[in-house]
Structure 1
């Protein structure tokens, strides 16, 4: 007996995102990011989808199946002023039927956020650098220091 374990209930139609729909979603993100500010010079948008088909066999012979759709939508924006070029990015995704992906408002919001980050970064000051005092209290700070630089200093590279 095969049981279907529907953690992500999906119809057959929910596993397909037509090419014209994909194209429109990607184009909308591009248009929205470019409209944010004239200093936006390049927009890179990607939409990745996959479906995992899982079959589990128990010791007693019982079979269980599950379909697991997954998508990821990424937007990266490059903004440029006279002598400065900066990036901003935004991404989202999840395990939902692909028919739920065409959420244009979420895509527009993500494109605006990526563009906003790039524009803000154009005016960002460099962070302070150089030799600075570091004060560590007992407990966890020592572990953080060890994880940050300790393994490399151990020489065994494990």
Structure 2
């Protein structure tokens, strides 16, 4: 089956892959929440995704090469989802979306703190985070001694939760 595209414009093609209501949120939860199983993605979705929509989007993201799925070695009945390299390369896009949202929309402090850290950290922090995601999802070892950006982002979020 050949997929028809409205145009060959890079922005159009990107929107065709990522422009629905849920795809970027699923990728966000996999990146920043380390949610790798269907149930985690379903039950920990702050936006309340329906199971049929989650199933459809995971299928689409897998078809389009942004997510891979494999049997979970720790649990015979479960599938584990992983980000692929093209999805990991969305970290700067996610950081910029978060920065834009912080500036222009009525965000909550605890949900904006990670976006603020990513914005302040800039491309250097984004690269460190992408290396960490590559290690976690693709099995590519990251540079020795590199601190965990994921732990830093989670710590800032949890600290804000306790202040709220």
Greater Cα radius of gyration, structure 1 or 2 = 1
What range describes the TM-score normalised by the shorter chain of this pair? under 0.3
Higher helix share: 2
Which protein, 1 or 2, shows the higher relative CO under an 8 Å CA cutoff with sep ≥ 6?
1
